Amino acid sequence: MKFNDALLGAVFLALSIAVLVTVQGYPRIPGQSIGPGAFPGLIAILLAGCSIALVWRGWRERASQPLVAIGAWLGSLPHVRNFLVATGSLVFYVLASDKLGFLICGGVILLSLFLTLRVRPRLAIPLAVALPILIHLIFYKMLRVPLPWGVLPVLW
Amino acid sequence: MLHAYAQAFALVFDPYVLTVILCSALFGLFVGCVPGLTATMATALLVPITFFMPPVPAIAAIVTATAMAIFSGDIPGALLRIPGTPASAAYTDEAYAMTKKGQAEIALGAGLVFSAIGGLFGTAVMITSAPALAEIALKFSDFEYFWMVVLGLAGAVFIGNSSILKASMSLLLGLLIACVGLDNPAGHPRFTFGNAELTGGISLIPMMVGMFAVSEILRFVVHMDPPLKLATEKIGNVFKGMWALLVKYPWPLLRGSALGTVIGIQPGSGADMAAWMSYAMAKKFSKEPEKFGTGHVEGIVEAGAANNSALAGAWIPALVFAIPGDSITAIAIGVLYLKGLNPGPTLFINNPQNIYAIFLVFILANLIMLPLGWLTIKAAKNVLRLPRNILMPTILLFCIVGSFAINNTVFGVLLTLVFGVLAFVLEENGFPVAPAILGVVLGQMMEENFIKSMIKSDGDVTAFVTRPIAMWLAIFTFVILFWPVGTWLWRRTRSAY
């Protein structure tokens, strides 16, 4: 998805203004003329300058560059679905991993991605069961990463 | 010094370390060979595992895996016309044209042999120059460090980016991200929105995993390219005729290795830019430039050596000044800090055996590249047939575990998602990602030296340029900063007359 430079510049400009406003409230280091707001403030001013230049450039080219150019993949339903499933599976993990545990979440994520990417179900299902177990063994047993068990009892 | 080298030998030639080197070599060869998986991604995926290792094997794993990945990126380039890593993109068409002419083994052999030689060249430069540079760096104060960082960042923005404006914005965004959290000279929580996880700052590793691994996965799931097709199944002896090439092209080899090392040292530009620039240079200086693009090996000799020597070159500023030469060393610096081996000149004095061990690993990695690379080329057919629609989801699961493992919180996974999508959108809109990473890695160091210098000089800005080395660094920085403006003005005034 390609946005016009003017639009992107505006987003960056908003960000730098927000930073500038926020750092106004920061205290100074006692006895010094400088404080925690100085460095981010300086960066935000530079970023605002660049953003204005980008807005200007985008505005000049607005005739040839549409405000939002839909990339080829956004016009194709399967690709949009792939994108949503991939990002959605990370969201799902963030929300559900504590409750359901790594093994279940990992299996669900793999199975849904395999199926959306058109892996044959006969291959997808055994892989979606086996791979999370393998990764869990490596990280939980060997590297001692406390991956959550969730609803399952502690098996190993 | 000899004693330190003996210690370094003992550190590297330990069965555990050697096993780590072998495994990461195979991992690197595999990652490089699969299109869509880059050497930087290999590093980002390795970090969660190296997190649990002692310092030397951890660094050895990264060094070996990346060296291998940069070479094996040539394999799909020659066989599929798709570069395995961006560092092979410069000569992919050339290598593919050679395969079409039935010379796949020469293209791949040249890639393998001259990668190893280039890597060894860069290592030699590192071994000779890094300790000497460290001596100089010992004399640096906050002012000099401030200018070194600015110089590095300026170089990252101004060298080799198509849009300097967008590269600058990407860098500034990175510097702002580095400001998040409690870890600043005043100890004041900044931009945390009251979130306890954010007071610790944005962890580098989940961010890297997001920007280099998740964004690649997203690019894969929306890609519209036709399925991969092998150009040839037959590959002969890759070492045949290599000696003749070495005798025929000594200068391109030397030029490529030297240019690659220099590009590597320059912060922000890594192996891919080294390959592009030296391929162009090979064509310019060649006796037969008309043959370039039709399946001529000369460019592969030069650029193949350049991308591997860049890899070693990038470690020089990383070890001496803690300023990464490319995005791989940006991650590696994070690992060094985690391991308590804070990069900088004092590392050369207090822990020389660790530095020498890194040198040894570089030599070893480039030597074992020859047999292992040969095996990979033999197995390439099968590796390239591996279905990527199974591989990519599995890598996504690794990303999840890896970003969780650093702080053992699910917040890392959230960071990975946010930065993965951010990198994906930024790259689609022509913003390079490498300057942002550099900004995040160097932001804290830059701010610290800036604030300390300001306090030392009591707010007097001229103090930044009164010390001699600081003054030269400042002049150098401003030359780079105003070079594009100057050339633009020059062209305008000339065309006006």
Q: Give the mean pLDDT per block of 10 residues along chain B (497 residues).
A: 85 93 94 86 87 90 93 89 85 90 90 94 94 88 86 76 86 93 83 85 86 90 75 79 88 93 84 88 88 89 93 92 86 85 88 90 94 91 83 91 87 94 91 86 85 83 84 84 75 71
Cβ contact (<8 Å) for B222 and A29? no
Residue predicted with more confidence, A70 or B184 = B184
Compute and round to an integer the Cα radius of gyration of chain B.
Answer: 22
The SS3 call for residue A111 is helix
Q: Which of residues 466-495 of B touch A (CB under 8 A)?
A: none
Cβ contact (<8 Å) for B396 and A118? no
Burial A84-118 (b: 16+ CB within 10 A, else e): ebbbebbebbbebbeebbbbbbbbbbbbbbbbbbe
Mean pLDDT along residues A22-27? 87
pLDDT for B358 equals 92
Our CA-based measurement puts residue B459 at a distance from the nearest CA of chain A, in whole angstroms, of 7
Asked if the ipTM is above 0.90, the reply is: yes
Cβ contact (<8 Å) for B185 and A29? yes
For testing contact with chain A, the best of B165, B222, B417, B426 (most A CBs within 10 A): B222
CA distances from B215 to B165, B166, B172, B422 (A): 22, 19, 20, 8
CA separation for the pair B358, B380 (Å, rounded): 29
Nearest CA in chain B to A53: B165
Contact (Cβ atoms closer than 8 angstroms) between residue B208 and residue B79: no
pLDDT for A48 equals 95
CA separation for the pair A79, A75 (Å, rounded): 8
Partner A contacted by B455 (CB < 8 A): yes
Residue entry with tokens 């030297």 = B258
The residues spanned by each domain of chain B are 2-496
At A142, the pLDDT band (50, 70, 90 cuts) reads confident
pLDDT for B156 equals 76
**CB nearest A39 (choices: B179, B416, B459):** B179
Residue type, B32: G
Our CA-based measurement puts residue B429 at a distance from the nearest CA of chain A, in whole angstroms, of 5
Which is it for strands A2-3 and A68-69: parallel, antiparallel or unpaired?
Answer: antiparallel
State the sign of the Cα–Cα–Cα–Cα dihedral A92, A98, A102, A104.
Answer: negative
Contact (Cβ atoms closer than 8 angstroms) between residue A67 and residue A4: yes
| Chain B residue numbers touching A19 (CB-CB < 8 A) | 176, 191
Our CA-based measurement puts residue B28 at a distance from the nearest CA of chain A, in whole angstroms, of 19
Q: Which of residues 118-137 of A touch B (CB under 8 A)?
A: 118-119, 123, 127, 131-132, 135
Cβ contact (<8 Å) for B173 and A35? no
pLDDT tens per residue, range A35-55? 888 899 999 999 999 999 999
pLDDT for A96 equals 93
CA distances from B407 to B147, B325, B404, B441 (A): 33, 27, 6, 18
| Single pTM value for the model | 0.86
CA separation for the pair A47, A51 (Å, rounded): 6
CA separation for the pair B172, B343 (Å, rounded): 24
Count the Cβ atoms, other than its own, within 10 Å of residue B489: 11
Token pair, residue B426, equals 């930024």
Cβ contact (<8 Å) for A147 and B179? no
| Chain A residue numbers touching B187 (CB-CB < 8 A) | 36
Cβ contact (<8 Å) for A94 and B169? no
pLDDT for B496 equals 62
pLDDT for A16 equals 95
For testing contact with chain A, the best of B397, B416, B445, B451 (most A CBs within 10 A): B397
The residues with which B190 forms a beta bridge, in sequence order, are: B181
Mean pLDDT along residues A115-134? 93
Contact (Cβ atoms closer than 8 angstroms) between residue B380 and residue B79: yes
Interface contacts (A, B; CB < 8 Å): 160
Partner A contacted by B136 (CB < 8 A): no
At A93, the pLDDT band (50, 70, 90 cuts) reads very high
pLDDT for B417 equals 95
CA separation for the pair B218, B211 (Å, rounded): 11
pLDDT for B115 equals 93
pLDDT for B186 equals 78
CA–chain centroid gap for B306, Å, is 13
CA separation for the pair B400, B410 (Å, rounded): 9
pLDDT for B497 equals 60
Establish how many alpha carbons lie within 13 A of residue B328's alpha carbon, considering only the half-sphere containing its beta carbon.
35
pLDDT for B303 equals 93
CA distances from B95 to B28, B153, B160 (A): 21, 34, 24
pLDDT for A47 equals 95
Q: Which of residues 1-30 of A touch B (CB under 8 A)?
A: 1-3, 8, 12, 15, 19, 22-23, 26-27, 29
Cβ contact (<8 Å) for B455 and A113? no
Count the Cβ atoms, other than its own, within 10 Å of residue A57: 17
Contact (Cβ atoms closer than 8 angstroms) between residue B192 and residue B180: yes
Residue entry with tokens 């830019």 = B273
Is the backbone of residue B414 left (phi > 0), alpha (psi -120 to 50) or beta? alpha
Largest Cα span, chain B: 71
At A151, the pLDDT band (50, 70, 90 cuts) reads confident
CB-neighbour burial class of residue B187 (10 A; exposed 0-12, middle 13-18, buried 19+): exposed
CA separation for the pair B215, A8 (Å, rounded): 19
